[in-house]
Amino acid sequence: MVSTDPDSTAAARDRFDVLIDTIPVPHDLGPYLSLVAMDGTLSQVGYLGSLTVETMDLLLGRKKLTSGGSGGLAATAAMLEFCAAHGITADIELLPSGRVTEALGRLERGDVRYRFVLDLSDLG
């Protein structure tokens, strides 16, 4: 599912029991709550600052909005172990560290589809 594609999001409406929102900038949670199934949960793990949430988006379908919090090192390690055991991965674009200037320029232009990860193995 691609969240910026209206047809894709319409097809996924009320589909997910749990949806983890990792978007690191302020955004409307309403479209993501529409993807959560009856009694489902939208878990926000990034800091968005002040938000306004339309409570009707929560009431219809008895949906829950939670926060993953930061959890610290132990919780992060447990989460990564869980993801590894269950094949949960993130969509990234891997770049060698020598292309850091390109990555920063693309970030500034908003030319990033997922997340950049810099491979630092070429520094050793």
Domain boundaries, the chain: 1-88, 90-124
Q: Which fold has domain 1-88?
A: Rossmann fold (3.40.50)
The 10s digit of each residue's pLDDT in 48-96 is 778 888 888 899 899 999 987 666 778 778 888 999 999 998 888 999 9
The percent of residues in the chain predicted with pLDDT above 90, rounded, is 40
22-49 in b/e form (b: 16+ CB < 10 A) is: eeeeeeebeebbbbbbeebbbbbbeeee
Amino acid identity, residue 7?
Answer: D
pTM for this prediction = 0.59
- pLDDT for position 113: 79
